[in-house]
């Protein structure tokens, strides 16, 4: 199938775009472009882009919920192929302001909330 378009950014609503962009830059790398305090872009090494958008009256998602204020989406991040690598990544994201929502499980991932409350996962990737 021929693509119609290519993904430019994932835009995330939040109360403080600059602060949330700095959080993600702290563990993904890159430098936030914050000429506009209401729209901050983080160009992540490797070509991906995250954008952070000011949302007045923002209410964080609640995880896990299936009714109102559910997570709507979450981001998964490869954190390495060993639990030592995942634990090192966990230490970093917790130090940057994330909070643990669900500890490791048999599937190989852990769930966290970023400082604005968005869920994300650090995943242990098994290599063949």
- List pLDDT tens digits, range 35-81: 898 999 999 998 889 999 999 988 888 777 666 666 567 788 888 88
Domains of the chain in sequence order:
1-57 (3.10.180.10), 59-128 (3.10.180.10)
- Per-residue HEC secondary structure of 22-83 comes to HHHHHHHCCCEEEEECCEEEEECCCCCEEEEEECCCCCCCCCCCCCCCCCCCCEEEECCCCH
The answer to whether the predicted template modeling score (pTM) of the entire model surpasses 0.95 is no
């Amino acid at each position: 199938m021929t693509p119609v378009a290519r993904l430019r950014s994932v835009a995330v609503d939040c109360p403080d775009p600059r602060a949330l962009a700095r959080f993600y830059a702290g563990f993904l790398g890159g430098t936030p472009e914050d000429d506009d305090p209401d729209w901050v872009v983080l160009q992540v090494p490797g070509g991906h882009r995250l954008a952070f958008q000011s949302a007045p009256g923002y209410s964080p998602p609640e995880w896990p919920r299936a009714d109102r204020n559910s997570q709507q989406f979450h981001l998964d991040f490869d954190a390495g192929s060993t639990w030592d690598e995942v634990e090192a990544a966990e230490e970093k994201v917790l130090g940057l302001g994330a909070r643990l929502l669900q500890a490791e499980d048999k599937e190989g991932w852990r769930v966290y909330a970023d400082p604005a409350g968005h869920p994300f996962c650090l995943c242990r990737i098994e290599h063949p």
